[in-house]
Amino acid sequence: MSGLVDLFGVDRALIGMVHLLPLPGSPRWGGSMEKVVERTLADARALAGGGMDALLVENHGDAPFSRERVDAGTVAAMARVIAELRCAVPLPLGVSVLKNDALSALALAVAVGARFIRVNVHTGAVLADQGIIQSDAAATLRYRRLLDADVKIFADVQAKHGVPLAPVELEQEARDSVARGLADALVVSGKATGEATPLEDVKRVRSAVRDVPLLVGSGVTPESVAELLSVADGAIVGTWLKRDGRLGNPVDPERVKRFVEAARAR
């Protein structure tokens, strides 16, 4: 049985992405928090209504992303939006603060009652579009202890939109993330947002680490979900659930229902 049961109540979890519109201070900020909240709640309700098990909220509209800590305005805006979401949609929540601000994600999770955070670079170092991103699992775990937070850490293994600074096998990074970084779950993705996650990569990580939950992090479709969930414990889904499958569009309730039906029929 998957370790996700305690978090989400199911052993194969479907986690819907809630991509926030640009927030105050970001280059494409539109000037209205009301519009950000309105879009967030509409997407979250569509995901919940279609049968998703949990939601993961991230500041995807804030590109280009900060390499280290985000601005205080980003954290404040995310706190407001997620608090309103939590009151409106009673699903378990996760938080991701892009590109790799695990400390702000933890603080937000405690403030809004989220159950997990996603960390893109939890161990090792990555060359990404932000430059060199260095992990700091030690700071993340110590901050979690300081906050006395029962918040799980979902760590990406060779995260999308980046490559390891030095060559490292997928299996070794997975083992290090758990044995040395103390990650609570692992996420395997394709090379970029919306790109398919290779089944072979999922199998390699599963063979290397069997005692923590494993999730597929990108490019999952109704056609691929059954095969992926035959190996993984869950899927994090965003792009395919949007209208016309386009990342910048609102969530399409009919696509959510179609996806969930395909996943449950496996």
The kind and range of the H/E element at 128 are strand 125-128
Q: Which domains does the chain have, with CATH numbers?
A: 5-264 (3.20.20.70)
In contact, 143 and 103? CB cutoff 8 Å = yes
- The rounded distance, in Å, linking the Cα atoms of 210 and 67 is 31
- Residue 229: pLDDT above 60? yes
pLDDT tens per residue across span 128-154: 999 999 999 999 999 999 999 999 999
In contact, 127 and 99? CB cutoff 8 Å = no
- H helices within the chain, ranges in order? 5-8, 33-49, 72-88, 102-112, 137-147, 170-179, 199-208, 225-229, 253-264
Name the average pLDDT for the chain: 95
- The rounded distance, in Å, linking the Cα atoms of 222 and 145 is 39
Of 237, 179, 241, residue with least CA distance to 211: 179
- The rounded distance, in Å, linking the Cα atoms of 43 and 57 is 11
Extract the tokens encoding 242: 């949007």
pLDDT at 65: 95
pLDDT tens per residue across span 176-217: 999 999 999 999 998 888 889 999 999 999 999 999 999 999
- The rounded distance, in Å, linking the Cα atoms of 17 and 179 is 28
- The rounded distance, in Å, linking the Cα atoms of 78 and 112 is 10
pLDDT tens per residue across span 117-126: 999 999 999 9
- pTM, entire model: 0.95
- Residue 27: pLDDT above 70? yes
Q: CB-based burial of residue 153 (10 Å sphere; 0-12 exposed, 13-18 middle, 19+ buried)?
A: buried
Q: What share of the chain is helix, strand, coil (3-state, %, to 5)?
A: 40, 20, 40
Q: 10 Å Cβ neighbour count for 148?
A: 7
pLDDT tens per residue across span 56-88: 999 999 999 999 899 999 999 999 999 999 999
Q: Which residues contact 103 (CB under 8 A, 6 or more apart)?
A: 69, 139, 140, 143
Extract the tokens encoding 88: 């409106």
- Residue 1: pLDDT above 60? no
